[in-house]
Chains A and B, each alone.
Chain A
Amino acid sequence: MAFYRPAAWQKPLSLALLCALLALPTGLEALGQEFYIGFATRVLIFALAATSLNLVLGFGGMVSLGHAAFFGTGAYVAAICEQAGIAEALLAFPLAMAAAGLLALAVGAISLRTRGVYFIMITLAFAQMAYYLFVSARAWGGDDGLSLSRRMTLAGFSLASDTALFFAALAALTATMLLFGRLADARFGRALQAIRENETRMEALGYPVFRYRLVAFALGGALAGLAGALLANQTGLASPGLLQWTQSGTLLVMVIIGGVGYLYGGVVGAVVLLMLEETLVGFTEHWHIVLGLLLLGVVLFAPRGVAALFGKRHG
């Protein structure tokens, strides 16, 4: 194990990527492919969600099958806010993050007292619990979910246009990657990685391991909540399906494909998976089989994910 250290070309590459993304909507409009702005936004949102899981899983070493609960909670809180008349994202988004983060704090406080297999299953069970809670609440749409009558505004600017929402999502993802990058090199990130590597050793150095994991878990949850709030705005619906444990599985798949513990693992994974979905759907409606086989292949033969194939990890 080594502390995560980005490859030398990561900074220039991410800068270039950011510039490309900033120009993307204009470019797509020029090509008459405005539809893909929505698709790109979706990719950004899931990249954010997967990255939030990467914090918990890749850096924290916690295999959580409950992450969808925080993703979905963010979506629902955003929808509830809009329904209640709070149409300003600068108010609603932090609320969504707070709700998701608090839920993660509660779930983590109980689940993190367990280990290994128990932890995985308990997070799964809690995610299901959140699903049932939201689905049973008729005031929140029940099975059909809660819809938003219109998209929110961000600091007064309406997010109704696809381009505006794209930039909002880009801003959120960029801020998150920045935070993530700093966090990895900061005291917290180092401690977290070391705990992932050898928990007993860290405990014996005086670190309150439980607290570190809990903070990482809650932070990951809050960021997932942000992604959820963005998604609710994009699709106009907070769907209960977002809370199902199978959604956690999808996020997990993204992180694995992209590379667990690599800073951009979540981003790469989301891009790969969503593009795969987009292309395969054209070939066959049973594309899940192809995805499943691919995933099996990755697990059995390339367990470090796509990012590892490019040898991004140093030291």
Chain B
Amino acid sequence: MTQLLLEQALNGLQFGLMLFLLAAGLTLVFGIMDCINLAHGSLYMVGAYFVAAAAQAADSFWIGLGAGVAAAAVLGLLLEVALFRRLYQRDHLSQVLATFALILIANEAVRLIWGPAPLMLNPPESLAGPVEIGNFFYPAYRLVIIAFGVAVAALLYLLVAKSRVGMWVRAGAANREMTEALGINVRALFTAVFVFGAALCALAGGLLGPLLAVQVGMGESVLILAFVVIIIGGIGSIRGALVGSLIVGTVDTLGRALLPTLLRAILPADAASTLGPALASILIYLLMAGILFFKPQGLFPSRA
């Protein structure tokens, strides 16, 4: 039992950290540029496709990952310059619609280029097997994902809290004119934030590719989770995104694994088999509603 618990806990941690990669970029764009980006999930999807395609072409996971993330960064740059730049000053409804349009285009474009069937993305050979932890086995690849997640979290912390660039970004978000008057190129800064977010999406997509399927529409379901994360964590807060992702990741994973079993112990089998999966899938939404009841701006609100 403890083995199952430990395994699921690690899965939750891994899932949570990957969610963090998505949520971090999303919350930065929201918090700093005040722009809703429904197409964030599409960046994740396209990033995964880039990685898978590159990995197949180069016959190497790591090269594929690097090339895919780089390509996604370039795409992010193009998108920011061509479209998002115009959306920062627009109302939220326009942002919702424009980015929704991007989802339509992205899903269809991917289908056009790579066809409707999912792409294969295999983990690197060296990490394909399990690793022994204490007295149970855990996939090595998943441990590597956790490592990546922790590394990015540390990097982001250093960047946002400790570096000069982070300070500029926060200043630009608080008062654009003032920051520009100080000689900082806020426009370039915003582009950099967006591109960084896109790269993080691609990284998450590429890393999760071997575990989940690289297919059309994979972005929509994960986008919702990212939204739930930043609602819980507070818009604009990296710390909130991290805490939120870990909460959502663990609650969702453990919930799905344990809730059906738990319910079967207290309810008749019939009710438990219907209620179990239903409750497990809406668990994080209930959690979100609960947190919002006490803290309507999330756990770490960074905006006034």
Q: Which residue of A lies closest to B274 (CB)?
A: A138
Stretch of A1-9, A25-33, A41-49, A129-137 lying at the B interface: A129-137
Name the prevailing secondary structure of the A interface residues.
Answer: helix
On chain A, the residues within 8 Å of B36 by CB distance are 117, 120-121
On chain B, the residues within 8 Å of A114 by CB distance are 292, 296
**Residue of A65, A122, A135, A244 with highest tally of chain B CB at under 10 A:** A122
Pick from B94, B104, B224, B277: contact of A288, CB under 8 Å: B104
A86 within 8 Å of B (CB atoms):
no
Q: Is B289's CB under 8 angstroms from A296's CB? A: no
A116 within 8 Å of B (CB atoms):
yes
A253 within 8 Å of B (CB atoms):
yes
On chain A, the residues within 8 Å of B297 by CB distance are 118
Interchain pairs with CB closer than 8 A, number = 121
Name the prevailing secondary structure of the B interface residues.
Answer: helix
A104 within 8 Å of B (CB atoms):
no
On chain A, the residues within 8 Å of B98 by CB distance are 295-296, 299-300
Q: Is B224's CB under 8 angstroms from A128's CB? A: yes
State how many angstroms separate the Cβ of A248 from the closest Cβ of chain B.
9
A237 within 8 Å of B (CB atoms):
no
Q: Which residue of A lies closest to B285 (CB)?
A: A129
Question: Interface size on B (CB < 8 Å)?
Answer: 44
Question: Interface size on A (CB < 8 Å)?
Answer: 45
A96-136 to B contact mask, C-beta < 8 Å, 1/0: 00000000000000100110111011101110110011011
Q: Is B288's CB under 8 angstroms from A125's CB? A: yes
Q: Is A295's CB under 8 angstroms from B274's CB? A: no
B96 within 8 Å of A (CB atoms):
yes
Chain B interface (Cβ < 8 Å from any Cβ of A): 30, 34, 36, 38, 83, 86, 92-94, 96-98, 100-105, 107-109, 111-112, 220, 224, 227-228, 230-231, 235, 273-274, 277-278, 281-282, 285-286, 288-289, 292-293, 296-297
Chain A interface (Cβ < 8 Å from any Cβ of B): 57, 63, 65, 110, 113-114, 116-118, 120-122, 124-126, 128-129, 132-133, 135-139, 244-246, 249, 252-253, 256, 260, 286-289, 291-293, 295-296, 298-300, 303
Cα distance A303–B224 when bound, in Å? 26
Q: Which residue of A lies closest to B98 (CB)?
A: A299
**Beyond A117-B30, A252-B97, A288-B108, 11 extra complex contacts between A and B, CB < 8 Å:** A110-B293, A125-B228, A125-B231, A132-B278, A136-B277, A253-B100, A289-B108, A292-B104, A295-B100, A300-B86, A303-B94
Across chains A and B, which 9 residue pairs bring their CB atoms closest together, nearest first? A136-B278, A292-B104, A292-B105, A295-B101, A132-B281, A288-B108, A129-B285, A292-B101, A289-B108
State how many angstroms separate the Cβ of B152 from the closest Cβ of chain A.
23
